[in-house]
Structure 1
Amino acid sequence: MQIFLGGVAAMFIGYAIIMLLYRKWFVQLKPFINPSTFSPSTSFSIIIPARNEALNIGDCLQTILQQNYPVSLFEIIVIDDHSTDDTSAIVEKLKLLHTNIKLIKLADELNGQILNSYKKKAIENAIGYATGKWIVTTDADCLVKKDWLKSYAAFIEQQDAVFVAAPVIFSNNGNLLNTFQYIDFMSLQGITAASVSAGFHNMCNGANLAYKKEVFYEVNGFRGIDNIASGDDMLLMNKIKMLYPNNVAFLYCEDAIVTTHPMPDWKSFFNQRIRWASKAEQFKSKDQKIFAVLVLVYGFNAALFIMPLLAFFNGWFLVYWFMFLSAKTLVELAFALPVAKFFGQKFIWWFLFLQPLHIGYIVISGWLGKFGSYHWKGRNVK
C-alpha cells in the first residue's frame, strides 16, 4: 500500500507542477489586438473537408463569406469526402453566388482508392488547388467571427511564423454532456495556448490553424504520417516544428476564436476521444515532451481510477482517493479559471462533481486509442 500511494503521490506532484506551469504560461500571454488601421496583403486558401455535413456546411460558409477581409485575398475550398447527403448540392448553390468558392469531390480524385486517412488526403488534394500563400483549415461544422481572417493576417504580418494555431471552443446548451465536453475542451485549448506560446510542446486543433503553403510542401506534406487515421493537425505541426523550431506560434486573440459543436451523444464523444488518443503513440519519437505529459496524465488518472476498487480490500484507499481527487480538482481549477475568462465564460462550478467521470473517460479512451478501434464519420478505423 505504501509503495502504491508513494507512486501516486509522485505522479500527483508531477501533474501539479505541469498544470501550474501551464497556468503561469497562460496568464503571461498578452492578447493580440487587431490594429485599427490595417491594410492586409496576405492571401488565404480556406480548406474545409466535409463528409455528410448538409446540416452545417451552409452556416459555416456564410460566416466565412461575411469576413471583414478583401474578397480578392481569400478563397474557400470545400472538399467533399464521399458524402451521401446534400453537402455538395448546398455548396454548389453558394458557389453560383460567390466566385471565391471551389468544390472538389474526393471520390473523383481517388478513383476508388482505399485509405486509412481520408481527411489528410482531402486536405492534401485541396492544397493542390489552392492559390493562396497561406492555408487555413477549419471544419464544416464550425462558425467563425467576422475578423477571423483579419486577425490571422495582422498576426502573420507582424510575426515571423510559418505555422499558427488558434483557439477553438464548443457551443454549450447547458445539458450534462455538452457542459462536460465544453469544460474539458476549453481546458485543452488553454493548455494548447500555454504550451505552444512557451515553446514547451506542440498542440493544435484542425478546426482553426494556418500554415504557409510552401512550408507544407517543404516538409513533404503528410508523407510519413498518412497511414495514421487522425493527426492532420498535430502530426503536421510536429513536422513543421522540427524544421522551423522558432516559427510556430499561437494566435491568442478573441476575434480568432472558432466555435464548433460538441458530440451529440456519449457514444460519439467516446469515438471522438478515442480517435484523438490513437495518435498518442506517434509522439513517443516525434515530441517526447508531450508524450511524457500524456504518460504522466494517464498514469495519474489510471491510479485514481483503480483506487476505489482497491478500497474493497482496504478502506483507507477510499480516504486517500478523496484526498488526491480534491488536490487534483484544486490544481485544475487554478488553471481553468483564467482560461474561462479568456473565452468570456463563467466557470461552471458543478462540473467539479464530474471529476470521477472525467477520470474514467481519460482511462477508457486512452486504452482503446492504443488497443481498440473506433467509428468515425461512418467508417470503422483501427
Structure 2
Amino acid sequence: MRIQTRQPREILVIVPARNESLNISACIEGLTRQTYPSGKRVVRIVDDHSNDDTAQIARAAASPHAGFSVVASPPLPPRWVGKCHACWVGATRDIDDPPEWLCFIDADVVAEPELLAAALQHAEAQSVDLLSLAPKQILGTWTERLVLPCGLYCLSFCQDFERLRTDECRDTSVTGQFLLVRAEAYYAVGGHRAVSDAICEDLALARQFKQHGRRIALFGGRELLSSRMYRDWSSMKIGLAKNLVETFGGSCARPGLHLALSSLPGLLSPYRSWTHGDVLEGRHLPVAHSVLRLPVREPPSDFISRARAFSLFRFGTDSCFHLDIHSAL
C-alpha cells in the first residue's frame, strides 16, 4: 500500500556519517527508492571527518540522483561533539528557504520505500513536532545476538514509557536512528547547537523540545526501516555504554558499566552455541541479564512476557523493540 501525505511538504533529510563505509551505500540506496515526491525532498549526507572511504562511497552512490549531495563537516568547534556538529551543519548550511521538515537518519539505517511518506503522514496526523521511529534491529555475530537484545530490553524495562508520554514529565525517550522534526520547532529550540556537547544528542534534543512545550512521539517502525548498529564488540561496547550510562545514572555509572561491558565477551563465550537458536525465545535472556546485574521491574522468570508488555509505543501493530535475528556465523 502506498502512503502519501495529501499535500507533500518540503523535507530535508540529513545523514551524519563517520567511518560508515560498510553501511552508507545501502543507506543512500534506500533513500533513493522513496515513494515521497522527489521534488519535495533533498538528501544531504554529512561526512563527519571519516578516516575511511565513507565520503568517496557516498559521492559515488549519491551523484546519479538529483537532490542528493555529500558535504564535509568543517573542523569541530570547541564544546561540540562530532555528531551534533554534523547534524547542525546539515540543517543550516546553504539554507535560504528552510524546508517544513527535517529528518535525521543514521548512516546504518536502511529505509523501506514508504518510510518518509508514512512518517510525514503520521507526524502531521498526530500533530507532533518530533517523531522518532525505532528500526528493526538486524543481528549477525554471536556477540550481537547475546548482548544487544538484553541491552534493548533493559532500556525498555528501566523507563516508564507511560509516564514519559505525559506532559507533566520533563523527561522523554527517543531513538536517534530516525528523528523527523518540524523545522520551525527545531530552529526555535536551538536545534543541535543547544545540545552541542551532549553524548546522547538524540535524547538531549528531545528533552529540549519537550522543555519548550513541543510534542514528541516514539513508535516502532520495523516495517519501515532496519539497522545493524554494531558489527564488532568494540563498537557495541561504546554504543551500549553511551545509552546505558544515560539511563542508569549519568557519569557516576560510567566506570561500573565500562567494566561490566568489557568483561562480557569472556563471560558469555561459554554460551556461544546458543546463538544458533532464537535468543528471544526466553531461555537465554535471563542469563545475559544476570551477568549485567541491571535492575528490572520484574524477576527474570517473567522477563520476556513483561518486556513485551513494556513495548508501549507502536506504529500500526508493530512492537518498538522487535528484533530480527540474522545469523552471520
What TM-score do you get using the length of structure 2 for normalisation?
Answer: 0.71
Q: 1:259 to 1:196 in 2, by over 3 A?
A: farther
Alignment of 1:118 onto 2:87: no
Deviations 1:360-381 (CA, angstroms, capped at 9, x unpaired): xxxxxxxxxxxxxxxxxxxxxx
Alignment of 1:55 onto 2:32: no
Cα distance, 1:198 vs. partner?
Answer: 5.2
Cα distance, 1:121 vs. partner?
Answer: 0.7
Letter in 2 for 1:119: K
Alignment of 1:329 onto 2:315: no
Query: Do the aligned partners of 2:135 and 2:220 also contact (CA within 8 Å) in 1?
Result: no
Choose from 140, 143, 150 the match for 2:117.
150
Distance 2:83 2:323 in 1: 35
Letter in 1 for 2:83: K
How many equivalent residue pairs? 276
Which one has the bigger helix percentage? Answer: 1
Deviations 1:298-347 (CA, angstroms, capped at 9, x unpaired): 9xx9xxxxxxxxxxxxxxxxxxx9xx999521343222235497369689
Letter in 2 for 1:92: R
Which one has the bigger strand percentage? Answer: 2
In structure 2, the partner of 1:71 is 38
Distance 1:325 1:210 in 2: 30
Alignment of 1:342 onto 2:312: no
In structure 1, the partner of 2:281 is none
2:139 match: secondary structure: coil
Q: 1:89 to 1:347 in 2, by over 3 A?
A: closer
Cα distance, 1:172 vs. partner?
Answer: 1.9
Cα distance, 1:156 vs. partner?
Answer: 2.0
Alignment of 1:184 onto 2:122: no
Alignment of 1:44 onto 2:8: no
Cα distance, 1:48 vs. partner?
Answer: 0.7
- Higher gyration radius (CA): 1
In structure 2, the partner of 1:204 is 174
Cα distance, 1:179 vs. partner?
Answer: 3.8
Deviations 1:133-154 (CA, angstroms, capped at 9, x unpaired): 1111111111112111111111
Alignment of 1:233 onto 2:197: no
In structure 1, the partner of 2:66 is 99
Deviations 1:247-297 (CA, angstroms, capped at 9, x unpaired): 2122455444x322142333332222222245459989xxxxxxxxx9xxx
Cα distance, 1:90 vs. partner?
Answer: 1.8
Q: 1:68 to 1:52 in 2, by over 3 A?
A: same
RMSD: 3.8
In structure 1, the partner of 2:279 is none
Segment drifting more, 269-278 vs 54-63: 269-278
What TM-score do you get using the length of structure 1 for normalisation?
Answer: 0.62
Structure 2, unmatched stretches of 5+, are: 261-289, 312-316
Q: 1:144 to 1:347 in 2, by over 3 A?
A: closer
Q: 1:186 to 1:142 in 2, by over 3 A?
A: farther
Letter in 1 for 2:136: I
Percent identity between matched residues is 18
